[in-house]
Amino acid sequence: SQQGEEDPQALSIQEGENATMNCSYKTSINNLQWYRQNSGRGLVHLILIRSNEREKHSGRLRVTLDTSKKSSSLLITASRAADTASYFCATDPGSARQLTFGSGTQLTVLP
């Protein structure tokens, strides 16, 4: 079963705009990770946020985590056409168990 569910399923924006994707999950987590997948390629790790963190930045990426609401958001600022990809959240339940991936948000950045 997939614990994380991304919202929206698809998002289309103009280059230069910000893109926000959300992830909701059901059970407690140790950490939450975001991955990007370009068409026809494997997944690439973007950022990891631990359960005791509320916000994390990496370049143009900003991730927030609200464990009380069991939700996370990924913000991409000043988007570029190269950001066009699918974005997945993955939850780590801890205790050395495996990551569970959501169904993804398909982001299209129009030039």
Site string for another protein, 1-20 (x = CB under 8 A): -x-x----------------
- Cα atoms found within 13 Å of the Cα of residue 41, Cβ hemisphere only: 12
**Please, what is the minimum distance in Å from the beta carbon of residue 88 to another protein?**
5
- What whole-number distance in Å separates Cα of residue 75 and Cα of residue 89? 13
**Please, what is the minimum distance in Å from the beta carbon of residue 1 to another protein?**
9
Q: Is 99 in the site for another protein (CB under 8 A)?
A: yes
The b/e string for 82-102 (b: 16+ C-beta within 10 A; e otherwise) is ebbbbbbbbbbbeeeeebbbb
Phi, psi of 64 (to 5 degrees): -120, 155
Q: Is 40 in the site for another protein (CB under 8 A)?
A: yes
Single residue of 14, 59, 68, 97 touching another protein by CB under 8 A: 97
Residue 83 DSSP SS3: helix
Binding site for another protein (CB under 8 A): 2, 4, 30-31, 33, 35, 40-45, 48, 88, 92-104
